[in-house]
Chains A and B, each alone.
Chain A
């Protein structure tokens, strides 16, 4: 890996909650102060900031950081839909690896409006799919799920199992929005949103904020003797594919390869993982795309319990998007937080035994990010 080594020095998050109407800057402050405390860092030492959000007004980044202090640092807003916060952390990692800065902070925040996510811009420019209502968000995942069932014989029960596990893990997470547990039957028989995705396989909008303090490994020595290293990261946008349907949000497989190459670690080395489960079929597709099981076998892989907390490769130990809820700009920070706690042995009831290497996959309407952490 070229450049300086990068460390995740501190993490913080507010409880996620369903449209609580909490003031965004209060949430940002809460998460920010938590991450600074976790890192043992004074705000005045932060050299650069990124603020990840999708629905906040102009100036949200500056206003959020101003809650913590006014030191004149550059603060830049990052929007990559659901993958905003992880991209913010990657941008911070880029500038630290390049030796331009040593200490950075990323705040992810979202206060969700009621109802449908508004798409900004002139209605006349609105894509046909949105104007006609033919691509509801579960739509893309649902269509990919149908295709997966057709091509590989994947069953609805496989998708439902991922959701059942998500809710069960979420019940162990005090920060999750939804902490009810459901049986497999309850997941399958819940209200159908877009076939085969039922209500309990969907993540729902939530309010919340997360924060991450990132540091060069050199400077991190001042704060900790046991840093969480960020050993690989890669982000991307969809790649043109002849005859492709445009359903894919990013080149997950290619990014996985890049991160494995950059970190010198592979799927066999990974002890715990976070993947983007905006809808439960996402977990299936991603474990395949990142090389944890052969293409097409994601269904049985999950069905057999391999992604349970005590399984071969625990996925979404905190309940994932489905249980935690989805404050769009902040979700990446939740993933980083959970993986950081796992590696540091701080995950309580959700703790994966001897977790030393963690992989993150965060994806949205705008791109995909993959990150590898090692303790």
Chain B
């Protein structure tokens, strides 16, 4: 397989996040209502706050706090994660919540309120050798 040639980073699901490229960190994709200013994640076409259809795509903040979490002890066949792992809702600066895998913290240490930051990881490679990426959050590195 040719090294780096034509190898791309692709999101495991379109429209939810932008994977990092040269010079860009990557972020979760949200919507902002042009009329009332509310933010939403995932993206929405209609604002549930004021019903406007004028929504713009925005890059959401990459640092947040754990709003709640659980330690999942069951793996689901056909999914890429193996239990046990931490899954939780991360509250972003725009006051939206993202459901996410949370890593790099002991099960005993994870708490509501822990500061976390977004990162991306490779789930698998596709037939063309592209990297299929998902996102997760981990404690902010000091």
Q: Are A195 and B71 in contact (CB under 8 A)?
A: yes
- CB-CB under 8 A from B89, the residues of chain A are 143, 245, 247
Contact with B along A133-147 (1 / 0, CB 8 A): 111101100111111
Of all chain A residues, the one with the shortest Cβ separation from B49 is: A240
Q: Write the nearest CB–CB distance from A214 to chain B, whole angstroms.
A: 34
The count of residues in chain B whose C-beta lies closer than 8 Å to any C-beta of chain A is 34
Could you tell me the distance in whole angstroms from the C-beta of A253 to the nearest C-beta in chain B?
A: 19
Interface residues of A in 132-169 (CB under 8 A from B): 132-136, 138-139, 142-147, 150
A138 neighbours in B (Cβ, 8 Å): 70, 74
| Residue from A131, A147, A245 in contact with B79 in the complex, judged by beta carbons closer than 8 Å | A131
Which of B2-10, B52-60, B95-103 is the interface stretch?
Answer: B95-103
Max chain B C-beta neighbours (<10 A), residue from A128, A135, A192: A128
**Do A242 and B38 have beta carbons less than 8 Å apart?**
yes
Bound complex: CA A131 to CA B16 (Å): 13
State whether the Cβ of A191 lies closer than 8 Å to any Cβ in chain B: yes
List residues of chain B with CB within 8 A of the CB of A242.
38, 49, 95
Residue among B69, B96, B101 making CB contact with A143, cutoff 8 Å: B69
**Nearest residue, chain A, Cβ from B77:** A116
Residues of B within 8 A of A3 (CB): none
Determine the chain A residues whose CB is within 8 A of the CB of B72 once the complex forms: 133-134, 136, 139, 194
CB of A240 within 8 A of CB of B48, answer: yes
Number of A-B contacts (CB under 8 A): 95
Which A residues touch B76, using CB under 8 A? 116, 133, 136
Contact residues of A between 193 and 209, Cβ < 8 Å to B: 193-197
A2 at the interface (CB under 8 A from B): no
Q: Which residues of B contact A247 (CB under 8 A)?
A: 68, 89
Q: Is A244 an interface residue (CB 8 A)?
A: yes
Answer yes or no: B140 CB below 8 A from chain A CBs. Answer: no
Kindly list chain B residues whose C-beta atoms are within 8 Å of the C-beta of A116.
76-77
Q: Which residues of A contact B30 (CB under 8 A)?
A: none
Chain B residues within 8 Å of A245, by CB: 67-68, 89, 97, 99
- Chain A nearest CB from B47 CB (Å) reads 9
Task: From B74, B81, B96, B112, give the contact of A132 (CB < 8 A).
Answer: B81
B12 within 8 A of A: yes
With the chains together, A288 CA to B99 CA distance in Å?
A: 25
| Contacting residue for A129 out of B48, B69, B97, B99, CB 8 A | B99
How close is A49's CB to chain B, nearest CB, in angstroms?
35
Verify B96–A135 contact, CB threshold 8 A: no
In this complex, how many residues of chain A approach chain B with their Cβ under 8 Å: the count is 34
A115 at the interface (CB under 8 A from B): yes
Give the secondary structure class of B's interface. Answer: loop
Chain A residue at smallest Cβ distance from B97: A245
Residues from chain A with Cβ under 8 Å of B95 in the complex: 242-243
Decide if B68 touches A146 in the complex (CB within 8 Å). yes
- Is A40's CB within 8 Å of the partner chain B? no
A100-138 vs B, Cβ < 8 Å mask (1 yes, 0 no): 000000000000000110000000000011111111101
From residue 72 to 104 of chain A, which have CB atoms closer than 8 A to chain B?
A: none
Residues on B with beta carbons closer than 8 Å to the beta carbon of A115: 77
Q: Could you tell me if B73 and A194 are in contact, using CB atoms closer than 8 angstroms?
A: yes
Contact between chains at A147 and B38 (CB < 8 Å): no
A246 within 8 Å of B by Cβ?
yes
Indicate if the CB atoms of B68 and A133 lie closer than 8 Å. no
For the complex, give the distance between the alpha carbons of A144 and B97 in Å. Answer: 14
From B70, B88, B91, residue with most partner A Cβ within 10 Å: B70
Beyond A146-B68, A147-B112, A242-B38, 16 extra complex contacts between A and B, CB < 8 Å? A115-B77, A131-B12, A131-B79, A132-B79, A133-B76, A133-B80, A134-B81, A136-B76, A139-B87, A142-B70, A146-B112, A193-B74, A194-B73, A195-B73, A243-B95, A243-B97
Chain B residues close to A by CB (< 8 Å)? 12-13, 16, 38, 42, 48-49, 67-77, 79-81, 87-89, 91, 95-97, 99-101, 107, 112, 134
A residues whose Cβ falls under 8 Å from a Cβ of B: 115-116, 128-136, 138-139, 142-147, 150, 191-197, 240, 242-247
Going nearest first, the 9 A-B pairs with the smallest beta carbon separation are A133-B79, A142-B70, A133-B76, A240-B48, A245-B97, A195-B71, A147-B68, A243-B95, A143-B68
Can you report 14 residue pairs joining A to B where beta carbons are below 8 Å apart?
A116-B77, A132-B79, A133-B75, A134-B99, A134-B101, A143-B68, A145-B70, A192-B71, A193-B73, A194-B70, A194-B71, A194-B73, A194-B74, A195-B70
